[in-house]
Amino acid sequence: VSNAGVGMVGPLECQSLAAMQSLMDTNFFGLVRLVKEVLPDMKRRRGGHIVVISSIMGLQGIVFNDVYAASKFAVEGFCESLVVQALRFNVAISLVEPGPVTTEFEAKLYEEAERTDYSRTDPETADMFTNLYLRNSKDVFASLGQTPEDIAEHTLRVIEAARPPFRHQTNVAYTPMAALKHADPSGTLMTDTFYKLVFKYDAVLRLSLR
């Protein structure tokens, strides 16, 4: 089971390249290093199961999570490319894709975001992040957040499955969000929907979450 991960939220202009590279080294290359270690022996034994804790953000980018989402997209692409070869050796690969999970990980991330200096971006973007994104995120976690124990139970079910699924989403509330990309391959439906949620109907969004 691969479950190493670090987070990053905020305006792109306020993130250092070194911090971005460090995140990718943990979230993506950490997984690559693990798979390189365990896969050869699994192939020799013609059996095994690699379970990767991904994220719904590996399927759908979320505003102000640019680099974190990129790392999870990389995880998804890596595993999707590898799974067909692995199946030839009777090795299963499964991606567990949680939405928000209520832990100290997120709490520390958002506490740090509230203390960050946003002078490197424009005032409108800084206001958008602090007064729209952070406020809505707290409501999202309060309303839709799962516990670590819940994610562990989902992961256990994937591990014990007679035919392990390649993808397993832990929160059904996010299924429609991920489906928007498949409903319209041009991306217009997805971007228009999220734009309206963030900028036109944010009050309705917060009310519905509460």
What residues are labeled active site? 68
Least Cα distance to 62 among 171, 170, 4, 140 occurs for 140
Tokens of 41: 């022996």
CA distance 38 to 89: 13
Torsion of CA 134, 138, 140, 141, to 10 degrees: 130
Torsion of CA 175, 181, 187, 192, to 10 degrees: -20
Q: For residue 99, give every residue at least 6 positions away whose Cβ sits within 8 Å of its Cβ, in sequence order, or none.
A: 55, 56, 144, 145, 146, 169, 170, 171, 173, 174
Tokens of 79: 């595993």
CA distance 120 to 154: 41
Least Cα distance to 95 among 56, 136, 147, 149 occurs for 56
Q: In the chain, which residue ranges form alpha helices assigned H by DSSP?
A: 17-27, 29-45, 66-88, 104-115, 123-127, 134-144, 148-160, 175-183, 188-195, 202-209
